[in-house]
Amino acid sequence: MKKTILIIALMMICFGLKAIAGNDENCYVKTRDNTFVGADIKIGLNHTRLVQSDGAYREFKNREVIAYRHHNKLYMMMPVVCNNTDTLCMAMMEYITSKSGCIVYKYSCSKEEDRLTDANKNYFFVYKDGKYYCRIDEDQTEALKAFGIIVI
């Protein structure tokens, strides 16, 4: 009898700890004015929804969002620069690493020759002192190794 009560008590403690750990608020959305913290983020075509730990949510227009963190990944609105250093547009890029004053972001887009599938091509943009420095294609593995990035 004591063993069953002990086992049931341990199971209840384990489930309780898992529920507490699941309510961790480690996501945020940053707009031009404020930063809002929540438990999860849902990103749609026009709106970004920040879900609170109690189930309530706050909705933002995508054009208002300048940065967000989804659990362990950080995304920031950065300029997309093509080969002739013209800025095409602004897009959300994933922060990868920083090394000796250079910050590396990853930008994913569909492959030009294969737009019908979900195949993506990754570009890595390097910014130095807050200014565009260079763009590295995922095929240039030697340049990526200098920043400690290994593409498989």
Same domain, 47 and 92: no
Same domain, 120 and 91: yes
Per-residue model confidence as pLDDT tens digits over 59-108: 999 999 999 999 889 999 988 887 666 667 888 999 998 888 889 999 88
Q: What is the Cα–Cα distance from 4 to 8, expressed in whole angstroms?
A: 6
* Residue numbers of the domain that contains 42: 23-68
Same domain, 108 and 46: no
Give domain status of residue 40, yes or no: yes
What per-residue confidence (pLDDT) applies to 68?
94
Give the number of domains in the chain.
Answer: 2
Give domain status of residue 12, yes or no: no
Per-residue model confidence as pLDDT tens digits over 105-131: 998 887 665 556 667 788 888 888 878
Residue 40 has pLDDT above 60, yes or no: yes
Per-residue model confidence as pLDDT tens digits over 4-33: 665 666 666 756 544 455 557 789 999 999
Same domain, 141 and 83: yes
In 14-145, DSSP assigns E strands to 27-31, 35-38, 40-43, 47-51, 57-61, 65-70, 73-81, 87-99, 102-110, 120-128, 131-137
